[in-house]
Amino acid sequence: MNIKHIGVLAVLFASVMWAIEPIFAKLSYQNSDFLQTSAIRAIFAAFTALVYVAITNKTTLRTLRINKQRLSALIYVAVVGTLFADLIYFFALTRVPVINAVLIGHMQPIFIILIGFLILKGDRLTKFDYVGISFMIISGLLVTTKTPKNFLTLKLGTLGDLLVLSATVAWATTAIAVRKYLKGMNAGTIAFYRFLFASIVFVIYLISRSTIRITNIYQILVGIVVGVGTILYYEGLQRIKAAQVSALELSTPFFAAILGFFVLGEVVTIMQIIGIFLLFVGIYYLSKKEAPLAS
């Protein structure tokens, strides 16, 4: 199995985690709010990443060492990716269906391409990449608009959808930051510091309000799930192009639609099913063989 295939599989498994994450988050809202859930999530995600580092590296402390340049990038990823984007996303989950949030939240290829074209000179895309990403963008429009009438009038959604979109743009910038400044760094280490820095801020805030507590098992589970998903995501990002990683994440709605229907009773329209099918067409083109990346 070559480097690209390993990267593709890592991101696809991460996509399963991304689909499970909002399900657990919504279930946790039964007796907690999005701020409290976000805090517990960050703490257990950091712990999961630390366990991964300890298991995969004999010299854990050395692996966790970072220089000043990487520290700046890690702080950016933590602030923009977790404190801002993740928090906005979790708030939006209180207002929109899981499949909408998941799909919009993983439409990063558009922004990755725009930002990466200017910053990541080495991440040039092939014709297969462009075809695959195009199919996924069309899929995103079908799943988000839900019905032919909404599609024709480009009625893309609500304020909650717009909030998820703002989180998506923020996530795209962190993917670029990881690819440019943290390439070659242990995936568990990146995930650990991303959630550790965010956890510190969350804990200070909740202690000041005397509301730091675990109110249900789903808060812990969502942390573990997002920790595993983030590690797999960064493992994929180390092996394949940033735009490919983001586009592959769009397989998440397939899993989210199934889970949302069986667990939360959310309805999926015919047009959304067609959109999900197009995701797999896109994945096929993104997985087409190309010249191997330098290891």
Look at residue 295 and tell me if it is in a domain.
Answer: no
Look at residue 291 and tell me if it is in a domain.
Answer: no
Look at residue 118 and tell me if it is in a domain.
Answer: yes
What is the per-residue pLDDT for 120? 57
Look at residue 157 and tell me if it is in a domain.
Answer: yes
- CA dihedral in degrees (279, 48, 174, 207; nearest 10)? 120
DSSP of 83-115: IIIIHHHHHHTTTS-HHHHHHHHT-THHHHHHH
Look at residue 129 and tell me if it is in a domain.
Answer: yes
Q: Which range marks the domain in which residue 134 is found?
A: 3-286
Task: Identify the DSSP state of 160.
Answer: H
Largest CA distance in the chain: 58
pLDDT at 93 over 80: yes
Task: Identify the DSSP state of 77.
Answer: I
Whole-number Å distance between alpha carbons of 38 and 156: 27
Whole-number Å distance between alpha carbons of 293 and 295: 6
Look at residue 293 and tell me if it is in a domain.
Answer: no
pLDDT at 14 over 70: yes
Higher pLDDT, 178 or 108: 178
**CA 54 from centroid of its chain's CA atoms:** 23
**Has this prediction a pTM greater than 0.85?**
no
Whole-number Å distance between alpha carbons of 233 and 151: 31
pLDDT at 181 over 50: yes
Q: Tell me the three state secondary structure of residue 176.
A: helix
Cα three-residue angle 111-190-56, rounded to 5 degrees: 130
What is the per-residue pLDDT for 171? 87
Look at residue 142 and tell me if it is in a domain.
Answer: yes
Look at residue 276 and tell me if it is in a domain.
Answer: yes
Domain count across the chain: 1
